Amino acid sequence: MAKLNLPVHKNQQLTGKVVDLTYQGNGVVKVDHYPIFIPNALSGEEISYVVTKTQRNFAWGRVVDWQTKSPDRVSLKDKRLLQTGIAPLGHLSYPAQLKFKQHQIAELVAKAHLNIEVLPTLGMDKPYHYRNKAQVPVKMVKGQLETGFYRRGSHHLVPIEDYYIQDPKLDQAIIVVRGLLRKFHVQPYDEQTGKGVIRTVMVRRGYYSHEMMVVLVTRTKHLPMKDEIVKGIVAGVPELKSLVQNINGARTNRLLGSTDHTLWGDPVIHDQLLGINFTISPRSFYQVNPQQTEKLYSKAIEAADLDGSQTVIDAYCGIGTISLAVAKHAKQVEGVEVVAEAVNDAKHNAKANGIHNAHFVTAKAEDQMAKWQQKGLKPDVLIVDPPRKGLDASLIEAAGKMAPQKVVYVSCNPATLVRDIQRWQVEGYHVAKPIQPVDMFPQTTHVESVTVLERTEK
């Protein structure tokens, strides 16, 4: 195999200026146009670094020292938050994080030669302690049961107690559970041998309701010292409403198995979003940052410009969070979602809130759109909130034939958003307003946004 002729080699120590920040939050230094990605380095900084890994098109490096530091750098009290990817932007000041996220979208829009304005990112007043759900792996580390987070790009567990971005009540509950698992010598699951009992601890807390759920994910149905553990969790977590054992016996990376046993309390907890009550089970998808979700969905509903006479389709409706909020302002809402449990939750949530003009169906969004189109359903507004892979081309095509006047696109991935905008243009749509980024996950590199597309008059 021919040896690569690269401008740097492994273990080489160099100095350079950081010229950019990647969408993953790594600094970029270039040697003869060859990029070296360096964690914990910010744009404009002059650094000494060592090359840790080389590949054909790029390398990785590690900061050894700083000659100059960015004015946007802030000190993060626990470096493990950067190492694990819990807070990959934790060393960047919050105003700079918001600009970074706006820039991410604006840069992709410009590269695609689209003339679309991107507004400043809507941020949080307190951009930490916001997550209402934690799911932490349990491992044996140096002979002791630990809870924590995996080091970036590995399955090496880093023990952590203060997660910085989570509701502190979740952190406290995890410590209580960890203490009981240690006390009663419950063995953590070992991926190598497939043995052990406890895999993951999941904790949820209602932002408005303050109801807490603890889920113990086990490999086996048998949980040693179960009664004592239950008693300890009930005593140690004052807001507890639901304690569930989820059994996942498969050798898989999937977090939850398909069997739940309620060990104490109720099988569900409740919370509110935009004044609507939601029932949350261990496997419910529910937004992890309710404060920002309310901002995001309010922007989407405002963008739809509803007056009570419209028919709205909500593709990727999940448990009905957007659909049920929109239903108050529309004539009828049709929701589609591929996950059957989520659709059941959506139907339950509609009934529980006395909302009768929202209907839900289990199907792939792209398949259902084609069916609705054949049946002659004529939506006025289409709302899409797809996963990171964006919209299927067939969905955009079916939607184009249905010809809704307006499409409200809630995106969690700027790259697929920009690709899909170009596809919508082919179907006769144009972006009618500036794109509005919303920071749903402060201290991380993720950015959500709301884009409004309107049908171009022909």
Q: What is the CA radius of gyration of the chain?
A: 24
Per the DSSP assignment, residues forming a β-bridge with 206 are none
| Domain-located, residue 102 | no
What per-residue string of b and e applies to 36-63 under the rule 16 or more CB within 10 Å gives b?
bbbbbbbbbbebebebbebeeeebbbeb
Q: Which amino acid belongs to residue 51?
A: V
| Domain-located, residue 6 | no
Beta strands in 274-405 (DSSP E): 276-280, 311-315, 332-337, 358-362, 381-384
DSSP code at position 195: B
Three-class secondary structure of residue 404 per DSSP: coil
* C-alpha–C-alpha distance, residues 374 and 369, integer Å: 9
Q: Which of 458, 389, 400, 450 is nearest to 424 (CA)?
A: 400
| Domain-located, residue 86 | no
* C-alpha–C-alpha distance, residues 220 and 247, integer Å: 6
Contact 310, 381 (CB under 8 A): yes
| Domain-located, residue 127 | no
Residues 6+ apart with CB under 8 A from 143: none
- Domain co-membership, 391 together with 257: no
The CATH number of residue 157's host domain is: 2.40.50.1070
- Domain co-membership, 387 together with 262: no
H/E segment holding residue 80 = helix 80-83
- Domain co-membership, 259 together with 306: no
The CATH number of residue 438's host domain is: 3.40.50.150
Contact 98, 440 (CB under 8 A): no
Q: What pLDDT score was predicted for residue 341?
A: 87
Boundary-marking domain end, from 58, 73, 88: 73
| Domain-located, residue 90 | no
Residues recognised as catalytic: 412
- Domain co-membership, 174 together with 256: yes
Q: What are phi and psi of 115, to 5 degrees?
A: -95, 75
- Domain co-membership, 294 together with 260: no
- Domain co-membership, 450 together with 309: yes
- Domain co-membership, 267 together with 321: no
- Domain co-membership, 194 together with 294: no
- Domain co-membership, 340 together with 429: yes
Measured CA distances, 440 to 12, 173, 194, 276 (Å): 39, 24, 36, 20
Residue 76 structure tokens: 């993060």
| Domain-located, residue 173 | yes
User: Total structural domains in the chain?
Assistant: 3
Contact 439, 121 (CB under 8 A): yes
| Domain-located, residue 88 | no
- Domain co-membership, 198 together with 146: yes
Q: What pLDDT score was predicted for residue 81?
A: 86
Q: Cβ atoms within 10 A of the Cβ of 290, count?
A: 20
The CATH number of residue 20's host domain is: 2.40.50.140
| Domain-located, residue 92 | no
Beta strands in 190-310 (DSSP E): 198-205, 212-218, 240-247, 259-265, 269-273, 276-280
- Domain co-membership, 236 together with 308: no
- Domain co-membership, 267 together with 336: no
Residue 446 structure tokens: 């993720």
Q: In terms of residues, how long is the chain?
A: 458
* C-alpha–C-alpha distance, residues 60 and 38, integer Å: 6
The boundaries of the domain holding residue 31 are 13-73
H/E segment holding residue 65 = strand 59-68
In the chain, the largest separation of any two C-alpha atoms, in whole Å, equals 71
Residues 6+ apart with CB under 8 A from 21: 27, 28, 42, 43, 100
Measured CA distances, 76 to 38, 59, 175, 441 (Å): 17, 26, 22, 17
Boundary-marking domain end, from 50, 73, 96: 73
Q: What's the whole-model pTM score?
A: 0.92
Beta strands in 293-356 (DSSP E): 311-315, 332-337
Three-class secondary structure of residue 249 per DSSP: coil
* C-alpha–C-alpha distance, residues 252 and 277, integer Å: 34
Q: Could you tell me how far CA 72 lies from the centroid of its own chain?
A: 25
Q: What pLDDT score was predicted for residue 1?
A: 43
Q: What pLDDT score was predicted for residue 3?
A: 62
Q: What is the pLDDT along the chain (458 residues), one digit of tens a residue?
A: 446 789 999 999 999 999 999 988 999 999 999 999 999 999 999 999 999 999 999 999 999 999 999 999 999 888 888 888 899 999 999 999 999 999 999 999 999 999 999 999 999 999 999 999 999 999 999 999 999 999 877 888 999 999 999 999 999 999 999 999 999 999 999 988 999 999 999 999 999 999 999 999 999 999 999 999 999 999 999 999 999 999 999 988 889 999 999 999 999 999 999 999 999 999 888 899 999 999 999 999 999 999 999 999 999 999 999 999 999 999 999 999 998 988 999 999 999 999 999 999 999 988 998 899 889 889 999 999 999 999 999 899 989 989 999 999 999 999 999 999 999 999 999 999 999 999 999 999 999 999 999 998 65
Measured CA distances, 318 to 330, 381, 431 (Å): 19, 18, 25
Boundary-marking domain end, from 273, 308, 332: 273
